[in-house]
Amino acid sequence: MNNKQASLLTVLMITGFLLTASAQNPIVQTYFTADPAPMVHDGTVYVYTSHDEDTTVNNFFTMYDWRCYSSTDMVNWTDHGAVASLKDFNWHEKSNGAWAPQCIERNGKFYLYVPIHGEGTAVLVSDSPTGPFTDPIGKRLIDSDHIWQDIDPTVAIDDDGQAYLYWGNPNLWYVKLNEDMVSYDKNIGDNGIVSIEMTTEAFGSQKGRDGKTRASYTEGPWFYKRNNLYYMVYAAKGIPEYIAYSTAQSPEGPWNYGEIVMERADHLAFTNHAGIIGFKGNSYIFYHDQSLSKGEGFKRSVCVEQFSYNADGSIPLIKPTKEGVKESIANLNPFKKVEAETMAWSEGLKTAGNSQTGVYVTTIENGDYLIVRSVDFGKGVKKFKAGVASGSTGGKIEIRLNRTDGELLGTLPVNSTGGWQNWSVKSCKLKKTKGVHDLCFVFKGDDGELFNFDWWSLIK
């Protein structure tokens, strides 16, 4: 058994997946992701994440870039790769510390607010939610004397058009962003920065190491408005972190403590970071755990749960689960080109990308697989086709129904194409199948990497 096979077996045991499509959390299995920041735009949920590297350096968070994933059904997630990195800023020398981001759209531009550990909070801008992002001001955004605490930015635009940027660990600050979203009003607070009073009435209570009672707010704020009420969701109670929330009648407070939203659980990391959205009539909370890394707190993974607010607008206690979102809110159309990096679950795979091909699935070896949920076969299909490339002897794709050991619909041979970037379109016949099913691609072949997988579609 090689290292990859051993790792795969361990992950299967940890997640309890066991060759079914029942597990949904974490929503990304190809990379370690953390600090989820969901954004709804044009009928799509985009989730921006920080990225814990596979190899941890100096027993600390090892994070160089920010990634983005999107979904229209809340069960299948498309990987858009690393959309920004520390290299996008030329005014600092940090090689590590790409911490929790958040993105927001205004006037057709997308603003990505990112903390750089030890360098404060910065901003990037793009014409697209998936980048490329560029640095519009050539310096950090928040001009403060406490830049080590200037992390975890969260941003929202109120109904009157005023944008607010909150952030901070272990304190909480905000600025009023100008309409350009890359500067702020310097005429309030301390040169534009307003400090929130950290009272137990506002943020709950906990006992510190010195035995004194203080506010339970720790870090990771998530600021939003719903039904004329302003919410601040945050990591609380120190290490290990819980998720709690407070509410206010104004975007500037005063804040009133609500309750714990998510308690500590064994498979959660010692940190947590939540993001909440409403999407197509449903409410979702994103957070991270450490299940894929066998309990390594510096290698986290983004998860999601569906929930309902109480009648009075309060948030209930939400249990983190392995199942996650149980049902898709839309079926996947397989008769158009589907990116191979769109998946509900995968084992053993990575994604990579370049400017010519975009993102694709790679490091495919014998026994690896990916699953796509809620695929609408309509009244029936006849063929399967895919864009693949192989610099080895290749392998094959087994197309199976509902389970990785489910009914075999067809097998696509993938021979060498003469190079890992020499892309070719292959096709095979399928058993006639109709209705809505999960679709499983099981990869088979000899030892070593078999091929790269860019896209697929079904033919009626």
Residues 305-326 have pLDDT tens digits of 999 999 999 999 999 999 999 9
Domain ranges in the chain?
A: 31-307, 338-459
Superfamily of domain 31-307: Glycosyl hydrolase domain; family 43 (2.115.10.20)
* pLDDT attached to residue 344: 98
- Residues 129, 270: Cα–Cα separation, whole Å: 30
Query: Among 54, 185, 197, 201, which one carries the catalytic annotation?
Result: 201
Report the distance separating Cα 421 and Cα 67, nearest Å. 23
35 assigned to active site = yes
Cα 135 to chain centroid distance, Å, stands at 22
Q: Which two tokens stand for residue 67?
A: 């990634």
If you average pLDDT over residues 237-256, what whole number do you get? 97
Is the predicted pLDDT of residue 5 greater than 60, yes or no?
no
CA distance 448 to 460: 34
- For the record, the structure tokens of 169 come out as 């660990």
CATH of domain 338-459: 2.60.120.260
Half-sphere exposure of 424 (CA within 13 A, CB side): 17
Q: Is the peptide bond before 153 cis (omega within 30 degrees of 0)?
A: no
**Confidence class for position 211, pLDDT limits 50, 70, 90:** confident
Q: How many angstroms separate the CA atoms of 76 and 54, rounded?
A: 23
Residue-wise pLDDT for 187-202, tens only, equals 999 999 999 999 999 9
- 65 is an active site residue: no
Residue 3 backbone zone (phi > 0: left; psi -120 to 50: alpha; other: beta): alpha
* pLDDT category of residue 207 using cuts at 50, 70 and 90: confident
Sequence-ordered list of residues with C-beta below 8 angstroms from that of 412, at least 6 positions apart, any chain? 384, 386, 396, 397, 399, 426, 427, 428
pLDDT digits (tens, 9 = 90+) for 98-116: 999 999 999 999 999 999 9
Could you tell me the pLDDT band of residue 22, with boundaries at 50, 70 and 90? low
Residue found under tokens 């006992």: 207
* Strand partners for 206: 214
Q: Collect all residues with Cβ–Cβ distance below 8 Å to 58 and sequence separation of at least 6.
A: none
